[in-house]
Amino acid sequence: MKLWGYFRSSAAFRVRIALNLKRLSYEQASIHLRKNEQGRPDFLALQPQGLVPALDDDGDVLIQSMAIIEYLDETHPTPPLLPGHPVDRARVRALAQAVACDIHPIDNLRVLRYLAKPLGHDETVVEAWYNHWIKLGFDGIERLLADDERTGTFCHGETPSLADICLVPQVYNEKRYPSFDMAPYPTIRRVFDACMKLDAFDAARPEKQPDAE
């Protein structure tokens, strides 16, 4: 398999974790987002949205991290990334989507760039935007985790799932910004720490990728 990604992309980070949990080997192709390589014609031919990641599995090119991860889970069912019961599956998907649908898209590079230019907001305003939406998202996720007895060592029980795969890269981003206060999120921090002790998560971290700077 071949994964197009970028070391700092949290959506690519999700797919790297899933591939590692499934013990699948893959090569990586770097799309340097800061240098706008996502707009390169050869990459747009693969992913017309100009977003990483994309995964080539034996000639089938898959896009969108959640679709890729569910594909991997369907084609390589062990270990499962979703629990067995439909209600539990819905909970795990809801936690994952709280990150992937509600937080991540509005704090994406192209959104932050658009706020700066052409909208003309300075760095302080862009940072305030970023932190505001992360805080709102994490406030809800902290309650969803802390107030539910199905939360275990991981977001759902004792094995990592799609929910942890989405949560960890988002937390990882925030740790890069000391201005964002993680103190109000003890459960999120505890789950994050548990995940990062696993090789699959650790090996997927940005600074361990071949294109890390």
Ligand X SMILES: N[C@@H](CCC(=O)N[C@@H](CS)C(=O)NCC(=O)O)C(=O)O
Please give the residues from 104 up to 163 whose contact with ligand X meets the rule CB under 6 A. 108-110
Placement of tokens 């998560």 in the chain: 201
Among the listed ranges 4-12, 73-81, 90-98, 149-157, the one in contact with ligand X (CB under 6 A) is: 4-12
Residue 162 or 194 having the CB closest to ligand X: 162
Tell the smallest beta-carbon distance from residue 205 to ligand X (Å). 14
Tell the smallest beta-carbon distance from residue 39 to ligand X (Å). 8
Residue 6 or 138 having the CB closest to ligand X: 6
Please give the residues from 53 up to 72 whose contact with ligand X meets the rule CB under 6 A. 53, 64-66
Placement of tokens 């230019």 in the chain: 117
Q: Binding of ligand X at residue 23 (CB under 6 A)?
A: no
Tell the smallest beta-carbon distance from residue 109 to ligand X (Å). 3
Q: Binding of ligand X at residue 18 (CB under 6 A)?
A: no
Tell the smallest beta-carbon distance from residue 147 to ligand X (Å). 27
- Alpha-carbon distance of 149 to 147, in angstroms, equals 7
Output the six-digit token pair for 103: 């937080």
Q: Binding of ligand X at residue 10 (CB under 6 A)?
A: yes
List phi, psi (to 5°) of 62: -110, 145
Please give the residues from 92 up to 111 whose contact with ligand X meets the rule CB under 6 A. 100, 108-110
Q: Binding of ligand X at residue 33 (CB under 6 A)?
A: yes
N residues, the chain: 213
- Alpha-carbon distance of 118 to 129, in angstroms, equals 16
Q: CB of 123 within 8 A of CB of 89?
A: no
Strand order in the sheet with 27-30: 27-30, 2-5, 54-57, 60-63
- Alpha-carbon distance of 187 to 135, in angstroms, equals 14
Among the listed ranges 46-54, 128-136, 139-147, 154-162, the one in contact with ligand X (CB under 6 A) is: 46-54
First to last CA, the chain: 24
**Where along the sequence are the contacts to ligand X (CB under 6 A)?**
9-11, 33, 38, 51-53, 64-66, 100, 108-110
